[in-house]
Structure 1
């Protein structure tokens, strides 16, 4: 399977990129590198892709497992190397689940399945970074 993404220069340090779904978004350098804060930064988008890929897996799996939760978010911390080309060499993915009666065993199983089997972006990250996982349960 081949995906095609087209990214076109708009002006200055701003690019517009599409997605196979047809949606578009802007990519831009940081202000210290000539950007105007109108677009998303390329490396940070990689962290968003990681969270989105795993998050989609987890939500799908928890739905099949009939697990209830009121809020779910993923924080991804990426540490860049000092030398150019700078890349993420250490990544921490934190899964936060909120609810009144969280089924910790099933939630952990869903996260583990995403991390170890289903999330292709997670596997890509493992090729160049040390990836750590943490699950946080917020009962209320």
Structure 2
């Protein structure tokens, strides 16, 4: 399998609960009712937030910013008709650290959104994506 190919297996457990295993061997449980685990649509938000967070933290570390904590709050707004796809997704980054330079955070968020976050780039083809950030002094 090439470096450009990823795979996963999803197995039914019971009711509408499934266990997914990535090709790298990591597992997560998903629940169509969102009672015992995240729903598949929630997993998309988690994927977007974690993908973008990897970018933002990595870029800030390369810029030698003293980041202590980074949180990404993701809100997805869905259409009312089935299939209830996302129409808007907003990612808000809360970056905590010492003497964090705002221009570095702004640049990191923009680079993630415009260039690096493959999940967000895939979503933006049909979803209105937006981003914001806050900086908190440690």
**TM-score under structure 1 length normalisation:** 0.91
- Which ranges in structure 2 are unaligned for 5 or more consecutive residues? none
Confirm or deny that 1:8 pairs with 2:11. Answer: yes
1:1-140 correspondence runs (5 A): 1-30=4-33, 37-140=35-138
Structure 1 segments (4+ residues) deviating >3 Å: none
Q: Distance in 2 between matches of 1:11 and 1:80?
A: 27
Q: How many residues align?
A: 135
Residue 43 of structure 1 aligns to a residue whose secondary structure is helix
Which has the higher mean CA deviation after the structures are superposed, 115-124 or 94-103?
94-103
Shift of the alpha carbon at 1:106? Answer: 1.1
Residue 121 of structure 1 aligns to a residue whose secondary structure is helix
Residue 67 of structure 2 aligns to a residue whose secondary structure is coil
Conservation of the 8 A alpha-carbon contact between 1:96 and 1:137:
yes
Structure in which a larger fraction of residues adopt strand: 2
- Which ranges in structure 1 are unaligned for 5 or more consecutive residues? 32-36
